[in-house]
Structure 1
């Protein structure tokens, strides 16, 4: 099933604001949605990696989808992650998020067990047969330890199984191969999940970007997208380089006491709190919170980027 209209532009993967008790802070979530919509984004992606979907309960996942869908009211497409280890579990998530109003679902390859390419293809075909909305493949080998092959993605695009690809693999050559092959399938969305080479992805013919940093600076990514589409490549490169500098905030956490995910998500949330978008910068357990001095470093990155 294809998207009714082409999915292009900036589609931020929303952070999920939490209270100090680690419940979903719906009021902050909707304030973030308003901030992103006001900046001119093209869609919203909930329950992805930046959303901490892996840390949320099924109840919280549904709460996020219901709140965002109701608040957006059809202004923009809402894509919902259905990320889980096995096909039956993902199918349960498909039913949950689509009944809550999601306009598309986003799924990785199965993980935990070693998965053959034929099983990955079968997984996506089963999802598409059960889903009443388009299915987007999420290529994130850093999380699921499987790289989606460009040939397989294009085979599933040709069958109408997949409506698009969110490529967070960092493999620009593979991204290019999908972009080139997908020209045969009008409407197939090829989106980069990278914060750092959106200009390059769009220059190759990509449809848009799903950058986590767009939570912090949605105006910058919308501006970058428009510059690229207008052929203003020098200005686009300058804006991309400014965003690359800002992206340095994901490394503020001390690697001796926390992982890269704790540092990155913690920095995004600290930045959103410093910018007055969310009330609390808590991250889901067992992630390690940023120390006060690390939050100060986040503030320094914001100031350098002209955001404070």
Structure 2
């Protein structure tokens, strides 16, 4: 199994698309380099911001091949390989391993309700079939299933399950993940909520998988860098600086807001796939206003 330091700010890389909703390979490669050049600590294709939920199996393979090829080992590549079924999750995870990703991020199965025993058995079977480190992904608002802290504790006993990303927005859940896995020193708890990254770090977590890094990569990376350097006040300033942008999420699907913002910054990333592609004129005005204000403040 690869020994990867799971820490810092990992960007759940958006998937650039052409007007006909095909993958824009040229811009995907550009986004990879933009993120790495901005100081991000890892790239994560096929996450929620990457619209994995609406991509075909073959498109997912293509995206992973492009990203691994473009990263060229400069930062770790996390691949989102979670599917509804255990069988398909294993199949995609094996493909990702063949392609050369460094870490798998496996979201809970979604749409149908799953018991904690079913979740445990799902993740264990995936782990048994690959030789890569796995980060569990808890996002109950989207998946309908939540990994209980006791289940994470049990899963952390499996050698290649090395971390968990929590996007529940419930800070106490993050704390319980940290508490339940503290005995395994190499187990990483990551915040999937951008507003909680610093507080996760202060509680003993390792960083965050941050959708806002698609828009403000330098600022998001600086939250972790400042914390690592012991400058908590500066880290808090960086953390606080993204609040105005996150307030724009009320205007639509956060994935769509993020992709719209990146487009407004001049990157030809296209829209999210229909039907999840609309932002009201009011929302666009609000996003433009925040981007303009943040640009003047040097937030990038």
**TM-score, normalisation: structure 2:** 0.93
Structure 1, residues 143-166: CA drift from partner, whole Å, max 9, x if none? 111111111112111232511101
What is the CA distance between 1:288 and its match in structure 2?
3.3
What SS does the corresponding residue of 1:246 show, helix, strand or coil?
Answer: helix
Structure 1, residues 218-241: CA drift from partner, whole Å, max 9, x if none? 111111112222232222222211
- Residue 139 of structure 1 corresponds to 138
Does residue 264 of structure 2 align to residue 274 of structure 1?
yes
Q: Distance in 2 between matches of 1:288 and 1:17?
A: 13
- Residue 256 of structure 1 corresponds to none
Q: Distance in 1 between matches of 2:124 and 2:42?
A: 25
Does residue 276 of structure 2 align to residue 287 of structure 1?
yes
What is the CA distance between 1:303 and its match in structure 2?
1.2
The RMSD of aligned alpha carbons is 1.7
- Residue 299 of structure 1 corresponds to 288
What SS does the corresponding residue of 2:225 show, helix, strand or coil?
Answer: helix
- Residue 123 of structure 1 corresponds to 122
- Residue 233 of structure 2 corresponds to 234
Structure 1, residues 241-270: CA drift from partner, whole Å, max 9, x if none? 11112222323x3xxxxxx42xx2222122
- Cα contact 1:56–1:284 (8 A) shared by 2: no
- Cα contact 2:131–2:160 (8 A) shared by 1: no
- Residue 7 of structure 2 corresponds to 8
What SS does the corresponding residue of 1:37 show, helix, strand or coil?
Answer: helix
The farther-off stretch of 28-37 and 99-108 is 99-108
What SS does the corresponding residue of 1:11 show, helix, strand or coil?
Answer: strand
- Residue 111 of structure 1 corresponds to 110
Q: Distance in 1 between matches of 2:269 and 2:236?
A: 34
- Residue 204 of structure 1 corresponds to 203
Q: Distance in 2 between matches of 1:95 and 1:179?
A: 29
Does residue 22 of structure 2 align to residue 33 of structure 1?
no
- Residue 149 of structure 1 corresponds to 148
In structure 1, the gaps of 5 or more residues are 254-259
Structure 1, residues 25-66: CA drift from partner, whole Å, max 9, x if none? 111111111111011111111101110100111121111100
**Structure 1 residues 43, 280: CA separation in 2 closer, same or farther (over 3 Å shift)?**
closer
What is the CA distance between 1:292 and its match in structure 2?
4.9
- Cα contact 2:4–2:102 (8 A) shared by 1: no
What is the number of equivalent residue pairs in this alignment? 297
